[in-house]
Every structure is written in structure tokens, then in C-alpha cells.
Amino acid sequence: MFFGEEMNENDNNNLGEFTIDEWLAYVMDANKSEVGETSSSVDKVDLNLCLGGEGTSSGVERDGKRSKVGSFALDCDSLFPSAPSLESRPISERMPNSSGHYVCSISDDDGSLFIFDSSRMGVDENVSPEMDDQEIRMDLNNDLLHKVLSFLDQDSLCRAAKVCRQWRVASAHEDFWRSLNFENRKISPQQFEDMCHRYPNATQVNIIRSPAIHALAMQAISSLRNLELLTLGKGLLGKTFFQALTDCTTLKSLVVTAAILGNGFQEIAIIHDSLRHIKIVKCRVVHVYVRCPQLQTLSLKRSSMAHAVLNCPLLRDLDIASCHKLLDAAIRSAVISCLLLESLDMSNCSCVSDETLRGISSTCGNLHILNASYCPNISLESVRLPMLTVLKLHSCEGITSASMAAISHSYMLKVLELDNCSLLTSVSLDLPRLQKIRLVHCRKSVELSVRSSVLSSIKVSNCPSLQQINIVSNSLQKLVLPKQESLTSLELQCQGLLEVDLTDCESLTNSICEVFSDGGGCPMLKSLILDNCESLTAVAFSSKSLTSLSLAGCRAITSLQLACPYLEQVSLDGCDHLERATFSPVGLQSLNLGICPKLDVLKIEAPIMVLLELKGCGVLSEALIDCPLLTSLDASFCSQLKDDSLSATTASCPLIESLILMSCPSVGSDGLLSLRRLPNLTSLDLSYTFLTHLQPILNSCSQLQVLKLQACKYLTDTSLEPLYKDGALPTLRELDLSYGSLCQASIEELLACCTHLTHVNLNGCMNMHDLNWSFSVAHPYLSTTHSEDDPPPFHAEQSQRFLQYLNCVGCPNIKKVLIPLAAHFSHLSSLNLSLSANLKEVDVACFNLCFLNLSNCSSLEILKLDCPRLTSLFLQSCIISEEAVEFAISPCKMLETLDVRFCQKISHTSMGRLRTACPSLKRIFSSLVPV
């Protein structure tokens, strides 16, 4: 797109969509307009892009004021020159076009016509034509702006150029454009020549995958006298280019990628006195001759040459990897000519032999890094490379256990990689400086023995035959040996070892415990993972350093003994055959043994443990628990737990606050009486036990707040009398009597007289009949169950009740619920009567009731509510009519959620009536209409 052409709104907002051809066309126009143009009457059009010009970033002073600097837009792919300054023209010469933008035509002295349209310049449409240029740009100090822009990459500079004219000029300064990147761009030799003239100080040029790279490269080395890095590729480079390369004296680095050198069958000579780095990768050529006295690094990687002659006395780094056609003699001749060579990569050179390595070892005394991976013909026989620090031998079929003798002479070796050496059976090395060793996919390796005081990294993986590992190191901190199925012997002398992971080492035996116990060679070990080591049967660790132990999936373990005073974490998931466990002493704060269903004998000495779960240890018969800070003990379903174990536990754990003995039928009165040793006990669960009375609890647990007695079917009707007649357990707040057999009278008196209860659960009580709480303030218990001669219940004079949550789920004999205001349940906030199939009438007047659940009360017909704060009402699967629901919810001014799904008598047309009856409704759930 050029000046004067139509531009739509999207083009104006996305100037960066212009192609490199348009950019270069503008640059050439700029060259023409800059030569010899002067005017005394009109400001000239300055199209200098400031990538190679002088002084334009700070502006040119003309007649005591800043001249109008031509503007242009920079984006990731393009730079745009400005039109002549609109403000410099008289008003009469400016007129708005059809889109409202100002258009101006200017004639230069040579007759050239410039058309300026504000719509093409990114100028704000709202800016008045009379406004001075200094008023519409973000005027910053030029030095400050230059400093700010110096932190941006070139893409960001292109975007910054759109801000204003000053930023356009500043962002084009040559300091920011030393690198010219034409990769994957179509640029002609003439265009490239113009660019080189415009940027004479450029130091880097990239013309990969550009057409005619030979001509462009010739132009670059002839025009850019400061060129230091030249990157070429994806084309044909003729012999003349390499001949002319000598004249580019400033060149330091040459990169040629995927190119044809010469015509692909000629000898290429690279002769240069200043080159320090050459990289010729994936190129097609037959013979390469390099004579560069200053060259330090040379890469011929993946190129097709059959011969290479090097005359580079200072070469330090040579990469000839994957040069498959390079013969063994050619490699030997090229390498031994580089006496100062330090790094050599000859991987995937299948012709390399031990003879070449011997020649290299006798000539290149400074060789430190050698990569001979994928060289099947080398075995290192009689090879001595004493100065090596890094040796990589991946997939070398000739490397065997005999090769270790040659490697042992590399006493400076720090890194050794032996991946996929299929014939290697044994690795035994004593190298004082070895820091890293890799042994991966060596399927025949049976033994690994490494001795090095500085060894810090070992990678052993997928060596299915490995049976023995012996490691001596003072620096190794982490050892990971996963899935070594055949590993049976592990010897470690690692003073600094902190973490060990032996996951899925299925053949490890119980002797491994000696390795990681005190005196076993790992005095600082903190974390040990033995997951899925299925051959372990009796595990015993005694360690003063171990803090984390994982035995997950060790299904064969039957005995566990841990004497680790600082042990903080232990995982026994899947140890479902564990029968005896001793934790004495340990530093655990919590322990879950409920996943060990066969646990019979348990001993725990844990000074700081606060939480212990034995839930599910159904055969646990002997438990010695010495945890003075224990606050929570869950022994649910420990059916064999007897009074003596419970008594011993309460004696040694006096701080217990929560005790769960659900389904512990062997616990009797003696055990419950021992609870008097627990002054802090506030929560007790005796559900599903054979209790006949509560006297041991009443005598022992004076501070109890939560008491759960679910399914205690042997409790007599008089069991609760001490609660509501004698004022026993005055701090009790939550009582669960679900699925019990207490009579109606006992329950009614409990609710009427135990005014301090806040949570009561009566779910599934067969003897629970109508909840008719229509007693008066003067008689807070049902008159139908008391005669005038009976003494009044304890605290009968108190009319205020603190009950908040009442659950009577699934009580089949409840037919009517009546809670009037006179009952004084002013704190009741939640009432759940769901699944009470015979419930027909509900009449509730509770000021603070928020939640009422009557779902699946299939007989419900009458519903009366005087609950001004009710917010949720659930009536699923009820036969109640829509008129009854409408009448019930009318007084509920705060009701938000109503659930009437599967209510057969409520049609989809009733939703509007219900919303009218209760305007506060926000959600009505119905199976007939969408929610």
C-alpha cells in the first residue's frame, strides 16, 4: 500500500500488516527524496529512518524552532516514511477528504508530488489541523526517551513507533538497529543494497531462506564494513563468496545452515584472519578446507563432506557430529592438527575407530570434553585420555566392562554417560573427581560400583538386570533408583545423603533396613521411599536423622519397628498385612493406622503426637499408647479393644479431648470409668455399642459437650433421666440418639427440660411419635405425660431453650409436628423431618428458623408456617397441594429457595402464583419447568 491509496479502518489500526516488499519500497523512495532536496519556502520531507543517518533522533533546529520531522510507523515487518508536515502548509492548502481526514498536496522543487492523508499516518482524527506538532506528540527529553527505548526488543520498538512522531524517530535510531534480520523474507539484491547503504553501521545480518542468498551475501560483506556476524542458509553459496570473505576483515562469526556450498561437488576454502566462530550445519559439500589462525570454535555438524582439512592452530571446540561420510582417516587427520583442542563432538560418526582415539589422545593433550556417542566401533582399548572431564558414550556397542579400565585412567573425569551400552555388564570406577554418572537402558548391567568423594548425581534407570550397587561419596545428597526389579544388594557410604527413592525395587530384602539405620553409612538421611517393595516382610529402622518414611504398597510387611525420634511423616497405605507395629520413639504429630485391618499389637511412644486414628483395626487387641499430648483418638470399629487397653491409654494420654469408640463392643463400664482421667474430654462417641445405662459417663465426663449414642438399642427408657431431672452433664450441647429405642416420653422430657442443648439428632427413632410442643410457659414439658403429683423436671422454671438444630430424619411414626411460639424454641434455625413417610401436618412458629426440610414426606397435606426468617424450604416428593404451599409461604417474607420437585399436585403453571405469594423467592426448583 502506498500514499494516496485507499485505506480502511482496520488498515489504519494495524499498520504492522505491511509486507517487507512495501517496507523496502518506502526505503528506496526515501533514498531518492533525501538526495539534494532543499526548499526555502516549504519544509522538506525528511524520510531518514534514523538507522544510519545523523542527528535525526534529537531533531534539527531550523530558524530557532524544531523542524517538522517526517514520521513513519515501525512494526515487526515494516517501516513507513512520513508525508510532508501538514502543519507547515497554509490552511487554504488543506482540506478534509470524504472520510474526514485532512489531505494536503505539496510540490517540491523537482516537481515531485507528495500526497499526505492523516488517515494513513495514524494521526488522531480529533486533533485540530491548526494544532502545532509539538502539541500532539508525547514530548519527552530525547536522551531519556532513548534510554527507555533501549530496553525494548525490536518488535516492541516497532509498536512504540506508533505512539507519536517523536517516538517514531527515536525508535528508529541506529543504536537499536545494529541487527538486520531478513530471515524468511523476500528481498531482491537491489533492495538489499539500498538497505546496506541505509544501515552502514550494522554489525549483524541474517538472510536465511531469502532468494539469491549468494548475491545478498556478497553485497553484505562488501557494503557493511562493521559486519561481525553473518548468518546465511537455505540456498546456494558459490565459491566466489568464500573467496570474497577474506576482504570482510571485521567478521568474527559465520553461520551457514542447510545450504549448498559451491555447486555441492567443489572444494570450499574458508580463509580468514579474523574469524573466531564458524558454524556450517546441514550443508552439502564434498571437501572443506579451513585456514583461520584466530578460529576458536568450528561446527560442521550434519554436513555431507567426505574430507575436511583444518589449519586452525587456536581451535578449542570442534563439532563434527553426524558427518556420516567423513572417513576415519579424515577425522583423525583433521583432529590431530588442532593441538589446543579442548572439546570434540564426534557423535554419530560411525567410522571412528580406537586408532583415531589413540591418535587424538597422543596429540590433543588438552582435550577435556569428548562425545563419542553412537560410534559402534570404539571400545577404548589402549586409549588413555587423562585430561578428560566429560565423556559421553551413548549407544556404543563396543563398550564393555573391559572398557572401564581405560576410563579409570581419566582421573580428571567429572561427567560420565553410558546410556544404552547394550554389552556393558559391570561398572566399577574409582575416580576422585567424578561428579555425575548416567546408566540408562543398560539391560545387561549387573553391578555398579562407584567411588568418588565429590559424586553428586547418579542416574540409574531401566537396568532390569542390575543386582548390586555400591556407592561411596561425601557429596551425594539425593539417590533415585526407581524400578530396579532385580536389585537385591545396596551398599552406601554417603555421609551427605539426604533423600533416597527405591520405588518398585521389588527384590529388596529386609537387609536394606541396616543400610538406612544408624551405622549403616547414611548418617544424615532424612527421606526414604520404599513404595511397592513387595519383598519386604519385617521392617525395622533405628535412625536419629530420618524424618520421612514411605512404605506404601509394601503388602508383605507383617512387622514394623520404628525407633526414629525425629520421624515426622510415615505412609503405610496398602500395608494391609501388618500385624505388629511399634513406634517407639517417633516424632509424629499424627498417625493413621486404620488402613491396616490385620493390626493386632500396637505400641506407640510419640511425645508430640496429637491425632491418632485406629479406625478399622478390627482385630486390635493390645494397644499401648504413650502420647502425652494426644488430643484426638479415633478407635472406631476396633471390636477387640478391651477395657485394659483403654485404661492404659487414658492414663498415659491425659489431654484427650475427642474420643471415638463407635462399634467397640468390648469396652465396658471399667473402661468408661477410666475416662475420669481425661479432664479435657469434650466429645465422646459410643455409637453402636452395648451400653445399658449412662452412669459411668455421667460420673466420669463432667465437661462433656458432645455425646453420640447412635443405635445404642440397649439403653433403657430411664437412662436419660439424670440429664433432665438431676442436671447431669450441664455443659452438654450436642446429643445424638439416632436409631435408638427410647420411648416417646423420655425424648419429650429431654427436649422440654434440657434447655442447654443446641444440637439434637433423633433420626430413625421408631418410638418417636407426634412432636406436639404446645405446652405453656409455666409447664415446659408435656402435660399429657406428667400428673400433678410428679415432681417438676430439673430447670423446669427456665422457659428459654437454646436448641438450634433438630434432625428427625426417617421417623416413620411421626404424623404431626406442632411447635408454637409458646414453646419458646426461639433459637431453632434448622429443622429436618425428611423421609418421615406418615407425616401429615406441620405447624411451626419459630422466629429464627431458616432451614426446613420436608422432602419425601409423602403424606404431607397441611403446612402452616409462621417463620419470618425462613430462607430455604424443601418439599420434594410431597403430595401437598399448591394452595397449601401458597398459604404456607405467604408469611415467609425472606424465603429465597423453594424445592417442589416431584410434587404431583403442583403444576408448572403454579410457579407464577408462588412467586406472587412470596415475592422474595429467588429460586424455585421444579421437575416440570427449567430451574
Per-residue model confidence as pLDDT tens digits over 709-755:
999 999 998 999 998 888 899 999 999 999 999 888 888 888 888 88
- The SS3 assignment for 656 reads coil
- 48 or 680, which is more confident: 680
Q: What is the pLDDT of residue 643?
A: 93
Helices 354-363 and 328-336: crossing angle, nearest 10°? 10
Average pLDDT, the chain: 83
Contacts of 589 by beta carbon, 8 Å cutoff, 6+ apart: 568, 608, 609, 610, 611
pLDDT of residue 264: 65
β-strand 622-626 against 601-605: which pairing, if any? parallel
Half-sphere exposure at residue 853, Cβ-oriented, CA atoms within 13 angstroms: 15
Helix (H) or strand (E) holding 147: helix 142-149
Other Cβ atoms closer than 10 A to 55:
10
**CATH pick for 809-926 out of 3.40.50.300, 3.65.10.10, 3.80.10.10, 3.30.300.20:** 3.80.10.10
| Alpha-helix runs per DSSP H in 475-587 | 512-515
Which one has a higher pLDDT value, 204 or 89?
A: 204
8 A C-beta contact, residue 217 and residue 232: yes
pLDDT one-digit tens code per residue, 317-341: 999 999 999 999 999 999 999 999 9
C-alpha cell at 765: 427413632
**Based on the number of CB atoms within 10 Å of its own CB, is 528 exposed (0-12), middle (13-18) or buried (19 or more)?**
buried
Among candidate residues 400, 418, 499, 488, the one with its CA nearest the CA of residue 456: 499
Give the integer Cα–Cα distance in Å for 890 and 884.
10
Report the candidate in 599, 549, 558, 555 with the shortest Cα–Cα distance to residue 574: 555
Cα distance between residue 374 and residue 394, in whole Å = 6
Q: Is the pLDDT of residue 32 over 90?
A: no
Name the residue among 165, 104, 121, 99 with its Cα closest to residue 13: 121
Cell of 90: 497554509
Q: Which of 144-148, 312-316, 785-789 has the lowest mean pLDDT?
A: 785-789
The pLDDT of residue 127 is 40
Q: Please state, in angstroms and rounded to a whole number, the distance separating the CA atoms of residues 464 and 446.
A: 9
Is there a contact between 737 and 716 (Cβ–Cβ < 8 Å)?
no
User: Is 843 buried (19+), middle (13-18) or exposed (0-12) by CB count in 10 A?
Assistant: middle
Cell of 722: 439424670
Band of pLDDT at residue 797, cut at 50, 70 and 90: very low
Higher pLDDT, 480 or 4: 480
Question: What is d(CA 575, CA 347) in angstroms, rounded to the nearest whole number?
Answer: 48
Average pLDDT of the residues in 147-157: 84
Alpha-carbon distance of 42 to 750, in angstroms, equals 105
Q: How far is CA 134 from the centre of its chain?
A: 50
Of 728, 595, 691, 606, give the one whose Cα is nearest residue 655.
606
Separation between Cα atoms, residue 56 and residue 58, nearest integer Å:
5
The tens digit of pLDDT for each residue in 747-791 reads 888 888 888 999 999 999 998 888 888 754 434 444 334 444 444
* Residues β-bridged to residue 26: none
- Please tell me which residue, 280 or 209, carries the higher pLDDT value: 280
Q: Are 711 and 740 in contact (CB under 8 A)?
A: yes
Instruction: State the cell numbers at 210.
Output: 531469502
Residue position matching grid coordinates 563432506: 305
pLDDT tier for residue 92 given thresholds of 50, 70 and 90: very low
pLDDT recorded at residue 928 = 58
Kindly state the helix (H) or strand (E) to which residue 882 belongs, with its residue range: helix 882-889
| pLDDT tens figures, 36-56 | 333 333 333 333 333 333 333
Task: Give first-to-last CA distance, the chain, whole Å.
Answer: 56
Mean pLDDT of 899-904: 93
897 contacts: CB under 8 Å, gap ≥ 6: 871, 872, 873, 921, 922, 923, 925
* Rounded CA separation 421/427 (Å): 11
Which residues does residue 457 pair with via DSSP β-bridges, in sequence order? Answer: 436
Q: What pLDDT score does 902 carry?
A: 92
How far is it, in rounded angstroms, from Cα 809 to Cα 764? 6
Q: Quick one: pLDDT at residue 799?
A: 57
Task: Find all residues with CB under 8 Å of 261, minimum gap 6, and list them.
Answer: 237, 242, 268, 280, 283, 284, 285, 288
Per-domain residue ranges of the chain: 579-681, 684-768, 809-926
C-alpha–C-alpha distance, residues 881 and 888, integer Å: 11
The residues, any chain, with a CB within 8 Å of residue 216's CB and separated by 6 or more, are: 182, 187, 189, 192, 207, 210
Query: Using CA atoms, how far apart are residues 583 and 551, in angstroms rounded to an integer?
Result: 14
Could you tell me the three cell numbers for 153?
526488543
Mean pLDDT of 385-396: 95
pLDDT digits (tens, 9 = 90+) for 834-885: 999 999 999 999 999 999 999 999 999 999 999 999 999 999 999 999 999 9
**In this structure, what C-alpha cell is assigned to residue 212?**
539469491
**1: pLDDT strictly greater than 90:** no
Q: How far is CA 362 from CA 119, 240, 336, 415, 787, in A?
A: 73, 38, 9, 22, 118
Whole-angstrom Cα distance, residue 128 to residue 138?
16
More confident residue, 72 or 640: 640
The 10s digit of each residue's pLDDT in 167-196 is: 888 888 888 878 888 888 888 888 888 888
Q: Could you tell me the strand order of the sheet in which 447-451 lies?
A: 426-430, 447-451, 468-473, 489-494
Least confident of 127-136, 618-627, 692-701: 127-136
In this model, does residue 107 exceed pLDDT 50?
no
The pLDDT score that the predictor gives to residue 126 is 41
